[in-house]
């Protein structure tokens, strides 16, 4: 049976700006289904080295298989099951230094569409939401163990949801009756919190709450901060130890402002300190053709820097 697919976003622009060359060491921090990785592997060829990182063991294995089947005589591939927040450690363990680094943040379409993962409010499923199903609390456990204030803060800060307080109250009242274990239960509670506003809302009322919960379950913003700190550390250390080669190009694709803001700030700081130069003036967006062909690309923003 054919594997479910995830279409890589802004792919050609990534390749052009990251400029992978034969023999380079490339790190794909978010291997996903291997779309970007496969293209990068083709560019670095048999003398190159490709490090694939993903929190999702299934995605990581799919990416590795995809790359190796497309490029049987291609680069040496290392697959690392872990967080990109520790990318410097992973590279140090492998005794490698990177020439090109890519992070395509968030989730793959296959994770969102898989009912087992409980990331989508479009199908009723257990509230799990973890990228790495081997550890950490599930979404249901977070809903069970957080105080009302913590829930409100999470839904407001990670979902930018104006009705966070009402939704948190609904969750706490409902869980006193019965644990909230299914996506359908949470969707219903959010709809009740919205009341008549649900009919006129621009997006499904559950969108922001589900996004907030997914970000919290996977510590997404903490991991991104750790990745950015690792990049700064690598940029500062590149002439001695460190995990980034001089001239390394680093690209990050974000999908919402909570991701893009820290990337923008960290890259601006690197350029201000003359540790890097911008290869993208502002954020680079998908072309109108790509936006038409792939809905997900509409919110994608790519920023790329080159270490000096
Ligand atoms: C948008 S998808 C990447 C898609 C990939 N570029 C492709 O072309 O198939 C994002 C991936 O990042 C992974 N991920 C999310 N947070 C992570 C983290 N902190 N460390 C490593 N992988 C992470 C997810 O499991 C998912 O597979």
Q: Is the CB of 34 under 6 A from ligand 1?
A: yes
What confidence score (pLDDT) does residue 1 get?
47
Length of the chain: 308
Q: Is the CB of 74 under 6 A from ligand 1?
A: no
Topology agreement, domain 11-110+220-307 and domain 133-217? no
CA of 34 to the centre of ligand 1 (A): 10
Which pTM was predicted? 0.96
Nearest-Å Rg of the Cα atoms of the chain is 20
CB atoms within 10 A of CB 222: 13
Instruction: Single out the residue of 12, 70, 62 nearest to residue 297, CA to CA.
Output: 12
CB atoms within 10 A of CB 93: 12
Atom of ligand 1 nearest to the CA of 30: 12
Q: What is the pLDDT along the chain (308 residues), one digit of tens a residue?
A: 455 678 999 999 999 999 999 999 999 999 999 999 999 999 999 999 999 999 999 999 999 999 999 999 999 999 999 999 999 999 999 999 999 999 999 999 999 999 889 999 999 999 999 999 999 999 999 999 999 999 999 999 999 999 999 999 999 999 999 999 999 999 999 999 999 988 888 889 999 999 999 999 999 999 999 999 999 999 998 666 789 999 999 999 999 999 999 999 999 999 999 999 999 989 999 999 999 999 999 999 999 999 99
Q: Is the CB of 194 under 6 A from ligand 1?
A: no
What are the sequence ranges of the domains in the chain?
11-110+220-307, 133-217
So what's the architecture of 133-217 in CATH? Answer: Orthogonal Bundle (1.10)
What confidence score (pLDDT) does residue 60 get?
98
- Kind of pairing between the strands at 276-278 and 301-307: antiparallel
- With the most atoms of ligand 1 within 8 angstroms of its CB, the residue from 54, 135, 217 to mutate is 54
Report how far residue 201's alpha carbon sits from residue 17's, in angstroms, rounded to the nearest whole number: 38
Report how far residue 235's alpha carbon sits from residue 188's, in angstroms, rounded to the nearest whole number: 47
Q: Whose CA is nearest to atom 8 of ligand 1?
A: 35
Assess contact for 49 and 73: CB atoms under 8 A. no
> Per residue in 141-195, pLDDT tens?
999 999 999 999 999 999 999 999 999 999 999 999 999 999 999 999 999 999 9
Q: Is the CB of 8 under 6 A from ligand 1?
A: yes
Tell me which residue has tokens 């003359």: 274
| CATH ID of 11-110+220-307, from 3.20.20.60, 1.10.260.40, 3.40.50.300, 3.40.50.150 | 3.40.50.150
Q: Whose CA is nearest to atom 3 of ligand 1?
A: 32
Q: Is the dihedral of CA 108, 24, 305, 242 positive or negative?
A: positive
């Amino acid at each position: 049976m054919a594997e479910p697919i995830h279409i890589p976003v802004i792919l050609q622009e990534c390749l052009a700006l990251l400029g992978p060359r034969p023999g380079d060491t490339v790190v794909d921090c978010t291997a996903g289904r291997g779309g970007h990785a496969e293209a990068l592997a083709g560019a670095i060829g048999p003398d190159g080295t490709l490090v694939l990182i993903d929190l999702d063991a299934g995605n990581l294995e799919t990416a590795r298989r995809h790359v190796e089947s497309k490029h049987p005589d291609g680069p040496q591939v290392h697959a690392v099951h872990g967080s990109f927040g520790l990318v410097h450690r992973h590279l140090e363990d492998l005794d490698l230094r990177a020439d090109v680094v890519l992070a395509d943040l968030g989730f793959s379409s296959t994770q969102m569409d898989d009912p087992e993962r409980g990331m989508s409010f479009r199908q009723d499923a257990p509230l799990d939401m973890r990228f790495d199903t081997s550890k950490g609390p599930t979404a249901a456990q977070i809903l069970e163990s957080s105080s009302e204030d913590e829930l409100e803060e999470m839904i407001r800060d990670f979902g930018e949801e104006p009705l966070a307080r009402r939704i948190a109250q609904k969750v706490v009242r409902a869980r006193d009756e019965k644990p909230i274990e299914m996506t359908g239960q949470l969707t219903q509670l959010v709809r009740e919190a919205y009341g008549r506003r649900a009919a006129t809302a621009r997006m499904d009322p559950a969108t922001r709450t589900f996004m907030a919960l997914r970000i919290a379950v996977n510590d997404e913003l903490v991991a991104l901060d750790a990745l950015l700190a690792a990049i700064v550390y690598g940029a500062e250390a590149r002439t001695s130890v460190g995990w980034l080669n001089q001239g390394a190009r680093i690209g990050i694709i974000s999908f919402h402002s909570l991701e893009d803001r820290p990337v923008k700030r960290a890259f601006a700081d690197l350029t201000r300190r003359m540790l890097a130069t911008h290869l993208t003036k502002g954020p680079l967006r998908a072309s109108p053709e790509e936006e038409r062909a792939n809905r997900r690309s509409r919110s994608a923003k790519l920023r790329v820097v080159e270490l000096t």
